[in-house]
Structure 1
Amino acid sequence: MTSWQIEPLGTWGREVTRNRRPAHTFRVSWSNTLELLTSEIEMLGVRGVIAVRIDVQRADIRLDGMIRARARAGFPGVVVSFESRFGPLSYATDAYDTWQANVRAIALSLQALRAVDRYGVSRSGEQYAGWRAIESSKATSEFASADDALRWLEEVVAEPGIRSRKNLVRLAALKCHPDQRDGDRTMWNRYETARKLVETL
């Protein structure tokens, strides 16, 4: 039997989608989405637990590992990770405006990837290799969203009344620069990640 585990998303670490598609693109029930995702993952020879990372708090996750009905995700992005006969695989998207729709998009993507094997050309799972590489080399952003990055920049600057993002980013750069921190680049690297995310707003 397939075992699921909902986990807090933590950091997104990927480019944030600017213009998300509406969730009503998919007119299906959540149980239908879960059934499709389960079926597609099982065909990949899943081993162990399937982790679904959503932007919720630990308190929003029930004891059985599923999400509480009243839980509200702060960011719609979803990451689905699992061990398969092709090795560890991870799929992520924030292309739709709800996390449920993004889970559906991942399920449909898995279905499409499996269809690549219809003619017997990719029997060793070559179509999944990119997702292994993406997961292992993904950026380690510390922000769940562009808004989260913006809030962090405001905390760094700690000067109320700054009206423009441009000024906020400029002042944060001055405070995070390695010259201000005895050559330590930790804050600067975090600033660069935040800046790139804020530029998507």
Structure 2
Amino acid sequence: MTDYPPGMTLRPIAAWPTASTTDRRPAPFESSLTSTLEVLDRELRALGPHGLRGAHGSNWYPTSILQLALREQDFRNDGMPRANAVPSHPGVILNIQPKGKPELSFPCDTFTRWQDNLRGIALGLEALRKLDRYGITQTGQQYTGWRAIEATPSMNARAAACAVLARIAWPNENDAAQAEWAHKIATDPEIGRTTYRKAKANAHPDRNGGSQTLWDHVEGAAKVIGGLT
């Protein structure tokens, strides 16, 4: 199974934030998804609290949500897309929440394959980081244009995070019920905290064969939502 970067959650796209590209084209590069995720792993770690210094670890990465044009039922309980899931369009949105900094949001639907659009975002992040080499940026000004509105988690990212908690806390509920729980999490802080505790209990590695994946999804979602601890 392809390994996505630590701290990353995959969710459906709630709404495309800009006008959709009408003349999508093949990408000018060829690369595997594995190679793209390696680039993305490095660039996300660069945006983490320790940058590219030090060892790898989940605390070295910012919380991120990768949104694909899939339905809720196209995701397994562990948050990964089902093998037969086919996006309705190739657009992807990458939301990144660097610790102590405004959220960044990168939508891309330029190319005909979602994997290539994700590659475009990864290469774009690499290019933005490399601007620091030339001494023309000191405080990350190159990311300003990608900040989410009002420097708070975007509606897409927060809604996606609420859906993550609802799915993990109430895995046996149908899609409509989980959507209702997600709405309650977003609007009622007490329900949010209760659901967070239930999701943590369900996601504990001791209940999942030692796997940390669901636990990381819960913690990542909680960071995006805020105010749950």
The TM-score range, normalised by the shorter chain, is 0.5 to 0.7
Alignment of 1:58-97 (within 5 A): 58-85=72-99, 86-97=101-112
Alignment of 1:15-164 (within 5 A): 15-23=19-27, 25-45=28-48, 48-85=62-99, 86-133=101-148
Using CA pairs below 8 Å that are at least 6 residues apart, which structure has the higher relative contact order?
Answer: 1
TM-score (norm 1): 0.62
Matched AA of 1:55: A
Structure 1 residue runs without a partner (length 5+): 141-201
Alignment of 1:161-176 (within 5 A): none
Change (3 A) 1:40 1:48: closer
TM-score (norm 2): 0.55
Change (3 A) 1:131 1:74: same
Q: 1:120 & 1:84 partners in 2: Cα distance?
A: 22
CA RMSD of aligned residues (A): 2.5
Q: 1:14 & 1:135 partners in 2: Cα distance?
A: 17
Residue 120 of structure 1, CA deviation = 2.2
1:7·1:51 contact (CA, 8 Å) conserved in 2? yes
Q: 1:5 aligns with which of 6, 9, 20?
A: 9
Q: 2:7 & 2:75 partners in 1: Cα distance?
A: 15
2:47·2:61 contact (CA, 8 Å) conserved in 1? no
- In terms of Rg, which structure is larger? 1
Residue 123 of structure 1, CA deviation = 2.1
Q: 2:30 & 2:137 partners in 1: Cα distance?
A: 32
Larger relative strand fraction: 1
Structure 2 residue runs without a partner (length 5+): 49-59, 156-229
Deviation beyond 4 Å, 4+ runs, structure 1: 133-137
Q: 1:12 & 1:109 partners in 2: Cα distance?
A: 19
2:105·2:148 contact (CA, 8 Å) conserved in 1? no
